[in-house]
Structure 1
Amino acid sequence: MRALPGVLLVLLAAAGCATTVEGTPVPAAGVTSGRDVVSKYFTELNEAGADGASAQRDFLRRTQHPDFDSQCELGNLTLRIEPALSTLRTDPKWKPEKSTKTPRGTVYVVGVSVRIRRDSATLAEQIGSQRVVVLDGRAYGFTPCPTR
């Protein structure tokens, strides 16, 4: 009788290994629908940066999330941000720093590589995460604050 629990454990473990799921894996609907909008956001951000600091400041002002004012200015700096879209996922509990509420819309977080430039000189490169919110089919961000 003592062997019975061990035999049952082996049978249960073997049964778990034999389980198959029919069909083809599909990404979660929210990530798939937001991927194109988020990708376009970064493309437009980088295009604005290629046009200069003033054009990128205008882009960041127009795409700032409507519920959150930015107190940051990049001055004459431009950013080139390359997202790793394979890392894109929703982040429903995220709140901007010093905020008590989450942004309206679907919050996405994505790994990014950021190149910070002044004129034609690269000042720094960083790897981190960035949030983009999709609200009513449009992407909104949060203007980054340069560290001093």
Structure 2
Amino acid sequence: MRSALGGLLLTVLAVAGCATTVTGAAVPQGGGAGPEAERTLVSRYFTDLNEAGAEGASAQREFLRRTQHPDFDNRFCDLGDLTLRIEPALSTLRPDTQWKPEQSADPPRGAVYVIGVSVRIRRDSATLAEQIGSQRVVVLDGRAYGFTPCPTD
């Protein structure tokens, strides 16, 4: 059971644009809000994600649907009764202009950022798995967008 949950978490991180290594020094393009404003938007994205998760799976599912990057809204996955608690390490936030979602020919519109995160997958009040990785968040037109992870069985 524990190894299946570990595989689930790795799949969740991989599909959400996560990786274990972050390299490169890129310059953001298309964000337009300025570095500090974009940092605040990214921070708020994770705060709102976690607050929705505290309300339950359906509230977090709605948040993830609403904040799915508009270029990839056809790739939304339902996490079922799972919730995510994602703690970002804001000191690791940096641009990542070369990144593009898996199976995509083009990067998303907006300023793509990569950030180190600690992810906890929960079902009801039970923690199923935890892992440290990285995640992408895109700032576009003054809003932060993410990429909903897709768990596998």
Q: Residue 95 of structure 2 aligns with which residue?
A: 90
1:44 corresponds to 2:48? yes
**Superposition map of 1:1-148 within 5 A:** 30-68=34-72, 69-148=74-153
Structure 2 counterpart of 1:62, which letter? R
Residue 30 of structure 1: how far off its partner (Å): 4.7
After the TM superposition, list the runs of 4 or more consecutive aligned residues in structure 1 that deviate by more than 4 angstroms: none
Give the whole-Å Cα distance in 1 for the aligned partners of 2:129 and 2:63: 21
Alignment partners' CA distance in 1, 2:76 and 2:63 = 15
**What is the distance in 2 between the residues matched to 1:87 and 1:147?**
28
Deviations along 1:62-98, one digit per CA (max 9) or x if unpaired, are: 0000000224221000000000000000000100000
The percent identity for this pair of structures is 79
CA RMSD of aligned residues (A): 1.6
- The unaligned stretches of length 5 or more in structure 2 are 1-27
Is contact 1:83–1:110 with CA below 8 Å preserved after alignment?
A: yes
Pair 1:108–1:124, CA change in 2 (3 A): same
Give aligned pairs, total: 121
How much does 1:32 deviate? 2.6
Q: Is the 8 A contact 2:110 2:139 kept in 1?
A: yes
